């Protein structure tokens, strides 16, 4: 039997709450105690699995009464998703994040599987053939923004 990763367990726990409520407010230390892990593990889960690319907005307040609030974004139409993605595309886009964004477009019916696979192929490290990681990520970001603009104008 394969043991589930602690990050997967924490993600599932938070998504279960979000399935029942519009938002979840947590205290990092409390969740870390609950799952017997270090607080930085909670940061990792939130940073990598609750991103705008995956349809989440994360707000935080530091200090004694600090919290982390995770909100699942409910979009009214396709243009909202495209606009939110456009606003949150960093100037340097890692391939892993590009995959998540493309998956979100596919999951929301904005692109077909074939289009998503083409986008992945175009942005792949091997295709770009740039040995400077920063330059590669910058180009990937520009390509993704161009894809989003094309989707925005064709709809």
pLDDT in tens, 92-104: 999 999 998 999 8
In this prediction, residue 22 carries a pLDDT of 83
In this prediction, residue 55 carries a pLDDT of 74
CATH 3.40.630.30 fits 78-154, yes or no: no
**Exposed e or buried b per residue across 58-82, where buried means at least 16 C-beta atoms within 10 angstroms of its C-beta:** eeeeeeeeeebebbbeeeeeeeebb
Treating both helix axes as pointing N-terminal to C-terminal, what angle do 39-49 and 6-20 enclose, rounded to 10 degrees?
A: 60
Percent pLDDT > 90 in the chain is: 44
Query: Which CATH number applies to 6-72: 3.30.56.130, 3.90.1150.10, 3.20.20.70, 3.40.50.300?
Result: 3.30.56.130
* Helix (DSSP H) and strand (DSSP E) numbers for the chain: 8, 3
Q: Where are the domains of the chain?
A: 6-72, 78-154
Q: Which token pair is 15?
A: 């998504």
In this prediction, residue 128 carries a pLDDT of 94
The neighbouring-strand residues paired with 23 are 71
In this prediction, residue 154 carries a pLDDT of 54
């Amino acid at each position: 039997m394969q043991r589930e990763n602690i990050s997967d367990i924490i993600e599932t726990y938070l998504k279960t709450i979000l399935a029942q409520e519009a938002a979840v407010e947590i205290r990092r230390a409390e969740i870390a105690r609950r799952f017997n892990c270090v607080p930085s593990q909670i940061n990792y889960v939130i940073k990598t699995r609750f991103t705008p690319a995956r349809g989440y907005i994360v707000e935080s307040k530091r200090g004694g009464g600090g919290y982390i609030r995770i909100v699942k974004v409910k979009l009214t139409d396709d243009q909202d998703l495209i606009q939110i993605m456009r606003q949150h595309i960093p100037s340097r886009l890692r391939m892993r994040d590009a995959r998540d964004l493309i998956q979100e477009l596919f999951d929301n019916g904005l692109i077909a599987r074939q289009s998503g696979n083409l986008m992945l192929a175009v942005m792949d490290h091997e295709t770009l053939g740039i040995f400077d990681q920063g330059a590669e990520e910058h180009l990937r970001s520009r390509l993704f923004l161009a894809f989003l603009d094309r989707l925005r104008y064709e709809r």
